[in-house]
Amino acid sequence: SYQIGCFGGYWAEKSICFNGTSRLPIEDNPQNAFKTLFSGGASTGSSGGGNGNADQLRILDNVSKDLTRLRGQLGSIERERLDMHAESFKTLQDRLTAQGNQSSGGTAACVSSGIKMQGLGANEARSIDKLKIISEVQQDIIIQALSCDLVRSAVFSYSHPVSPIMVPGSSIGDHDASHGTPAQFTPSKVWWIGQIANLIEKMSKIPDGTSGSLLDNTIVLLVSELGDSALHDHWRVPFVLAGGKNTGLKGNRALNFRSLNGGKGANHGDLLTTVAQKAGYSTIAKFGLANGPMDGIW
């Protein structure tokens, strides 16, 4: 698995990703994420500086040459699929090249050398242009990693608890908006959910073997760590599941599980257990404080 994000790694002690009782960090830096996933190197951490793009781009260039050689050995159907993979590599290469140009004093779209997350001031962290660019690049990186089977599961974390970020269309920071009026809070939530929708849409266009798209073979779970953000409580937390035709998910539904467990509702571990078993981990009887898997999801 891999934990990647867009402004999600500010506070390591608030990561919602765990290995046992140990929290797992969120990698916010696209160059570090790329190096870890595509070159087998260790990440230098979210606060890593410098450009460091040359070796990474050289790896992508070598991959592109390999794909070109392979293309001549394939039939028309396989060649078409290969071309789609090659195009996604080219897109990733272009984005990383733009970051490298900016680090060298160029005028690329990315506005920060190395796109360093940790230690940024509040005003700089709320740069709308930077937020959109990082989101797009990180999405491309994790989709490519899933498509190449470099990882089988991933966490994509948008922002972090008590987030100060002002998203496009909002005039107030995310956390402050959660304590404000619906008119202040709604634009923030709409923007974040729009990013998730964009990620899912991208996955639906990536071929995955002979069984459909990447989305067709992926279970997407969307969750916040809070139920009522204004109260900072953890009750009635909404979850969203998405997935394509091979996941068995019955979509376009809203399900209410408040009556479970004597009216206490379902534990989020119940849902995690259900997803784990569907993903093939049949030996997991329950996860964390779960009572067991939930009925009616698939």
pLDDT in tens, 160-170: 878 888 888 88
Position 218 scores a pLDDT of 94
Question: Residue 243: what pLDDT?
Answer: 94
Model confidence at 235: pLDDT above 50: yes
Give yes or no for a contact between 4 and 138, defined as CB atoms under 8 angstroms apart.
yes
Residue 40's pLDDT band (boundaries 50, 70, 90)? low
Q: For the segment 45-75, what is each residue's pLDDT rounded down to a tens digit? A: 333 333 345 555 666 667 777 777 888 888 8
Which phi and psi (to 5°) does residue 113 adopt?
A: -60, 120
Distance, C-alpha 237 to centroid of its chain: 20
Say if CB 223 and CB 172 are below 8 A apart: no
40 exposed, middle or buried (CB, 10 Å; 0-12, 13-18, 19+)? exposed
* Amino acid present at 87: E
End-to-end alpha-carbon separation of the chain, Å? 24
Contact call for residues 118 and 48 (beta carbons, < 8 A): no
What pLDDT does 179 receive?
Answer: 92
* Pairing of β 239-243 and β 219-223: antiparallel
Does residue 91 contact residue 140 with C-beta atoms inside 8 Å? yes
For residue 290, pLDDT over 70 is answered with: yes
The whole-chain average pLDDT of the chain stands at 78
Give 94's pLDDT tier (boundaries 50, 70, 90): low
The values of phi and psi at residue 207, to 5°, are -65, 145
Amino acid letter for position 99: Q
Nearest to 155 by CA among 13, 4, 35: 4
Q: What are the CA-CA distances from residue 98 to residues 15, 109, 202, 236 (Å)?
A: 30, 6, 21, 43
pLDDT band for position 253 (cuts 50, 70, 90): very high
Name 154's bridge partners.
2
- Cβ contact 218:204 at 8 Å: no
pLDDT bin (cut points 50, 70, 90) of residue 241 is very high
Least-confidence region, from 8-12, 36-40, 216-220, 240-244: 36-40
When mean pLDDT is compared over 14-18, 130-134, 254-258, the highest value belongs to: 254-258
Structure-block tokens of residue 294: 């939930």
Region for 265 from its dihedrals, namely left if φ exceeds 0, alpha if ψ lies in -120 to 50, beta otherwise: left
Give the helix ranges, DSSP H, for 104-215: 122-125, 128-147, 174-178, 182-204
Answer yes or no: is pLDDT of 217 > 90: yes
Length of the chain: 298
User: Which of the pair, 76 or 179, is modelled with greater confidence?
Assistant: 179
Is the whole-model pTM more than 0.75? no
Task: Take residue 26 and report the two structure tokens written for it.
Answer: 């969120």
Amino acid 194: pLDDT: 94
Question: Region 257-286: what's the mean pLDDT?
Answer: 88
pLDDT of residue 22 exceeding 50: yes
Please give the distance of CA 96 from its chain centroid, rounded to a whole number. Answer: 18
